[in-house]
């Protein structure tokens, strides 16, 4: 699971700024559920909720979920660069 620094870096590179309030909200269950926290707030409803508040916050929520998935596959060390590559290729 990427720490919030990686989420901030990914958003800064893709969106031009970090959205720590999005990451904090989405990961609020992590202390209790550990890696299972993604069962909560890592879904389309949460992304749509943030998008309803602000389009860029919705994009940050999408990036949060995407970075988590990429990190699971390639590890934290390569997660951001892999995410950027997928975005540049139009995969995400």
The domain segmentation of the chain, as residue ranges, is 4-88
- pLDDT tens-digit profile of 2-47? 788 999 999 999 999 999 999 999 999 999 998 899 999 999 999 9
Average pLDDT over residues 46-69: 97
Q: What percent of the chain has pLDDT over 90?
A: 91
The reported pTM is 0.93
- In terms of phi and psi (left: phi > 0; alpha: psi -120 to 50; beta: otherwise), the region of 19 is beta
Q: pLDDT at position 35, please? A: 82
Average pLDDT of the chain to the nearest whole number: 95
């Amino acid at each position: 699971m990427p720490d919030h620094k990686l989420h901030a870096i990914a958003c800064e590179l893709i969106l031009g700024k970090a959205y720590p309030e999005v990451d904090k909200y989405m990961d609020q269950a992590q202390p209790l559920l550990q890696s299972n926290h993604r069962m909560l707030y890592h879904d389309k409803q949460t992304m749509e909720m943030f998008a309803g508040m602000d389009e860029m916050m919705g994009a940050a929520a999408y990036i949060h979920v995407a970075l988590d998935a990429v990190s699971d596959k390639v590890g934290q060390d390569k997660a951001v660069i892999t995410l950027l590559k997928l975005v540049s290729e139009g995969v995400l």
